[in-house]
Amino acid sequence: MARAKITIVGAGNVGATTAHWCAAAELGDIVLVDIPQTEGMPAGKALDLMEASPIMGFDSNITGTTSYAETQNSDVVVITAGIPRKPGMSRDDLLATNAKIVGMVTEEVKTSSPNAIIIVVSNPLDAMVQRALQVSGFPSNRVLGQAGVLDTARYRTFLAMELGVSVEDISALLMGGHGDTMVPMPSCTSVGGIPITRLLNEERLEEIVQRTRDGGAEIVGLLKTGSAFYAPAAATAQMVEAIVRDKKRLIPCAAYCDSEYEVGGYYVGVPVIIGAQGVEKIVELELTDQEQSDFQNSVEHVKTLVEKMGTLVAG
């Protein structure tokens, strides 16, 4: 059986670390593509990672290039290209620059890998996935965004730290846009099957929810010169695995919702089943009044962002 071909666009911290996680899990052969100031950079990172394979015991061919020719007929394309956040910046501040970058990358992907599934990681996430859909013209199930896996991982981490339990025992869900309006769902959060509301009071849970919303900014503030990359890359690799191994994982990600949740044709974080076809099903939950209100607020923010992006791209 032929190995899956995985292209990762952007060989910076997120892209290179995604390649690392994917190679270590033997998800397929990997092409790292970038147009950096130093032309040999993607090839250098790919070779360095390849030389780790005898030590770590994985069989994946990893190549680095500045040309999309070597990415031909990829099964999955991960787009991490774009400028990262700096201290004081919101994800939304990246809108104009990254919309242009993601648009150019998607044009290349459309030509070189017309049957690929695209996973977008670039921020502001929900708007960037919408941009990739617009430019590619792919069916919406084959264009999705990594956000919910990362946000849920942060939420689970903070809950585990608070309760002194294993992260493996925490099951959680977040919905909405990837940003300050994300909607952690206490009604869908449990520890070893015990509802979180029976273990934490409402006030402390809300503090943890807020830390989750600020999770990316907290790391940007600590690093000073960049943004998070280990956890975003691991989250992306989990999505790649669900596709190339047809795992049918039920995980939250940015998916195109039209009639679903009455979103009306935008990307927003919802629980989905991910398999070989990309987004194979959007799982619709009955939300509480508060969850519905918070989710609608998040959707409105995404709509505003997409409309602003449309103006910037047209200009």
Q: Which residues are catalytic?
A: 178
Given the structure tokens 């859909």, which residue do they identify? 133
Indicate the Cα dihedral angle 10, 221, 236, 256, nearest 10°: -100
Strand pairing partners for 191?
Answer: 170, 194
Query: Any residues with CB less than 8 A from the CB of 253 and at least 6 apart, and which?
Result: 144, 145, 146, 147, 148, 149, 239, 269, 270, 272, 274, 279
Using only C-alpha atoms, the chain has a radius of gyration, in whole angstroms, of: 19
Q: Tell me the three state secondary structure of residue 288.
A: coil
Q: Is 137 within 8 Å of 96 (Cβ atoms)? A: no
Burial of residue 166 (CB within 10 Å: 0-12, 13-18, 19+) is exposed
Indicate the Cα dihedral angle 6, 12, 16, 18, nearest 10°: -70
**Angstrom distance (rounded) from CA 273 to CA 246:** 10
From the list 42, 47, 113, 37, the residue with the least C-alpha distance to 80 is 42
**Angstrom distance (rounded) from CA 97 to CA 294:** 29
H or E segment and range at residue 302: helix 289-314
Q: Is 124 within 8 Å of 91 (Cβ atoms)? A: yes
